[in-house]
Amino acid sequence: MTRVGVLAFQGDVREHLATLSEVGVTGVPVKTLAELQSVDGLILPGGESTTIAKLSRIFGLFDPIKDAIAAGLPTFGTCAGLILLADKILDGIEGQETFGGLDVVVRRNAFGHQTESFEIDLEFRGIEGAPLTAAFIRAPIIESLGDSAEALATLPDGRVVAVRQRNILGISFHPEVTDESRVHELFVREFIG
Ligand code: GLN
């Protein structure tokens, strides 16, 4: 059975584990190297990217995760998870680290205070049927993409909120909080296989 890890230091780990069981794979909370090495793919949850990066360092997983992603581990990041996958971030804190792998520039907290959280229906390349209900919670935006990164979803104003590149899928929003399992399904089907 396919095992998908959820990096479990901070953030909406439980929601991802629940969505994984909906799509019929085994979700594994990952906090140790042995757990990381036991999974076929990895989810970086929403939460606080600075905290997740720091705790990954403290618990000795930062470099192993970075190396595993670079070596091709299928990896899916939502919101803070997208920030952690970006090669370059804007409005990070001083010295904020990312695992990288996505050739994109991501701006943290891109929607400011007025509209910190909202839901909107989106079309998503590769997902058939009704539009996705996407929840944006202090969400980042993908400001620019390199040639090898492909945009999968945009807001009505054209800003990019989902991207894929090689073994990596990154999205600004949280399908795991709106009962939307089709992005997880796509990750399992197309990235893990
Ligand atoms: N603003 C958060 C950060 O910078 C991300 C918010 C989220 O994951 N919902 O990490």
Q: What is the pLDDT of residues 154-167, one digit of tens each?
A: 999 999 999 999 99
pLDDT of residue 115: 66
Q: What is the CA radius of gyration of the chain?
A: 15
Q: What is the pLDDT of residues 97-106, one digit of tens each?
A: 999 999 999 9
Q: What is the pLDDT of residues 44-76, one digit of tens each?
A: 999 999 999 999 999 999 999 999 999 999 999
- Supply the CATH number for residue 134's domain: 3.40.50.880
Number of domains the chain contains: 1
pLDDT of residue 114: 64
Q: Cα(136) to centroid of ligand 1, in Å?
A: 10
Structural domain boundaries, residue 79: 3-192
Which residue's CA lies nearest to atom 5 of ligand 1?
A: 80
pLDDT band at 43 (very low <50, low <70, confident <90, very high): very high
SS3 189: helix
Measured CA to CA, the distance from residue 170 to residue 124 in angstroms comes to: 12
Q: How far is CA 93 from CA 28, 54, 89, 171, in A?
A: 30, 12, 10, 21
Of 9, 43, 48, 115, the one to substitute when testing ligand 1's pocket (max ligand atoms within 8 A of C-beta) is 48
